[in-house]
Structure 1
Amino acid sequence: MSTAGHPTPDPADRPADRRADRPADQDAAGLVIALDGTSGSGKSSTSRGVAARLGLAYLDTGAQFRAVTWWLLQQGVDVHDTTRVAALADTPRLVSGTDPGAPTITVDGEDVSGPIRSEAVNAAVSPVSAVPEVRARLLALQRAAISEALATGRGIVVEGRDIGSVVWPAAPVKVYLHADASARAARRATEEGGSDPSATEQSLLARDAIDSTRATAPLVRADGAVEIDTTPFTLDEVVGQVVGLAEAVEART
């Protein structure tokens, strides 16, 4: 199953309720798990594990921001030129696959799942993510993906930094993951094939600072989110905690 990948419509062409600061159908039946947190805290692995265990779809919103960043770099755009980035925000066609076992993302039909994890994209994604026009375009795609999952009755796990606070505030399960900076750096260094943990830690802390202080949709713990420090736990233990939260919510409905 894949999400809608069309450019964001002009706001003037949308119904009034879709211009509001909430998804129009956020009260639709179905399970939405909003999983936010800091870089390297285990969001992706946890989200995919939870989605697989519960039979839900999965959406990596960070991959969408990386995909836009990758495209801008391919075009030779200075990612610090906010005017230029804003003007091009609607140009690339993005499609996100929502299979937790094999998530994909394409830009104009090209699979960029690998290239978006490059060092060049790592270094450029924060300034791109802070541009309001980029966030607005991707917000529309993210809400469309959630609506699609709910319409099929499947439900979805969505990971990012503003899912519970901005993208889908009515999610019945909200989780905020974080971990000790050194632990996050060690995990990320391992994922990247043995990069310098010290340099990785500084990069993560810099990303935290940018994400937490940007003017549009900063990284915050959403109201009602359960906070989990993943530092002392294995991946299976963290997945189990989130699954337990979801099962408790479903038992009450």
Structure 2
Amino acid sequence: MTAPLTIAIDGPSGSGKSSVAKAVARRLGIGYLDTGAMYRALTWWCLERGVDLADTEAVAEAARTLPLEVGTDPDAPTVAVDGTDVGAAIRTSEVSTAVSAVATNLQVRPVLQQLQRDLMARIADETGGVVAEGRDITTVVAPDARVRLLVTASEEARLRRRSAELHGSADAAAVEATRDQVVRRDRDDSTVSTFTEAAEGVHLVDTSDLDLEASIEAVLDVVAGVTEAEE
């Protein structure tokens, strides 16, 4: 039997990895997992419960008991904590500003990474494959994925895209307002994971000069190349 089609995608903020990952999963008819949303959900849960994010052990304990549910349909991915839909709440500026404190907690990362492995296996078993995207999927969570990609873009392109997404504009003021969420978070997260350079065996896709459709096609071309080479 053919092994499930596991696709691991890493990349910095604003590189387009989330939009591309969902579209690739949709076109291939397999499941989708946003691992970054899991760190955001834990951040939201800690803030809701008054857990001090500087207390690394308390946050790690919250991670171990996090009542998380994730929907893996690329057309309608969902995130719920203890029965509460937090899909919108985890994208607020409050969570975006605080999430690095959780994502860089070295006691938290192994807990969520194992959960991510378990979810990838379950999704792949249920749908025949999975596209998982995040920061360290290609190197730590799923180094044995059949297809591994780093989706990246220039800082200028990433700031422009995220500004348009968050503020509806990519003018100078909007870009500056977005800089902290993009540049600072990438800098913080790079202290605990490598997602700016492709590791050995990881395919690099630079979307700086590509629109969404071209970015999707570039990733699908890599997937096709890898799977054809296996035949």
* TM-score > 0.5, shorter chain as reference: yes
1:105 corresponds to: 79
Determine if contact 2:57/2:107 at 8 Å carries over to the other structure.
Answer: no
Partner of 1:155: 129
Q: Distance in 1 between matches of 2:222 and 2:107?
A: 34
| 1:86 pairs with 2:60 | yes
Q: Could you tell me which residue of structure 2 aligns to residue 227 of structure 1?
A: 204
Where in structure 2 are the equivalents of 1:192-231 lying within 5 Å?
A: 192-194=166-168, 196-214=174-192, 217-219=193-195, 221-231=198-208
SS of residue in 1 equivalent to 2:167: coil
Q: Is the 8 A contact 1:63 1:116 kept in 2?
A: yes
Greater share of residues in helix: 2
Which of 159, 168, 171 lines up with 2:142 in the alignment? 168
**Mapped partners of 1:237, 1:98: distance in 2:** 24
TM-superposed CA distance for 1:88, in Å, is: 2.2
Query: What secondary structure is seen at the aligned counterpart in 2 of 1:239?
Result: helix
Q: How large is the Cα RMSD of the aligned pairs?
A: 1.6
Aligned residues: 224
The one-letter code of the counterpart of 2:221 is G
Measure the CA separation in 2 of the matches of 1:252 and 1:219: 26
Q: In terms of mean alpha carbon deviation, does 196-205 or 64-73 score higher?
A: 196-205
Secondary structure of the equivalent of 1:192?
Answer: helix
Residues 1-253 of structure 1 aligned to structure 2 (within 5 Å): 29-152=3-126, 154-194=128-168, 196-214=174-192, 217-219=193-195, 221-253=198-230
Q: Deviations over 1:143-167 (max 9, x none)?
A: 1111113323510100000001001
SS at 1:89 equivalent:
helix
Retained in 2: the 8 A contact 1:35–1:157?
yes
* Unmatched tracts of structure 2, length 5 or more: none
Aligned residues of 2:30 and 2:127 also touching (Cα < 8 A): no
Question: How far off its partner does 1:177 sit?
Answer: 1.4
Greater shift in the superposed pair: 231-240 or 152-161: 152-161
Per-residue deviation, 1:222: 3.0
Q: What TM-score do you get using the length of structure 2 for normalisation?
A: 0.91
Please tell me the residue identity of whatever aligns with 2:61. Answer: A
Structure 2 counterpart SS, 1:169:
coil
| 8 A contact 2:39–2:103 mirrored in 1 | yes
Query: Structure 1 segments of 4 or more deviating over 4 A?
Result: none
What 5-or-longer segments of structure 1 have no aligned partner? 1-27
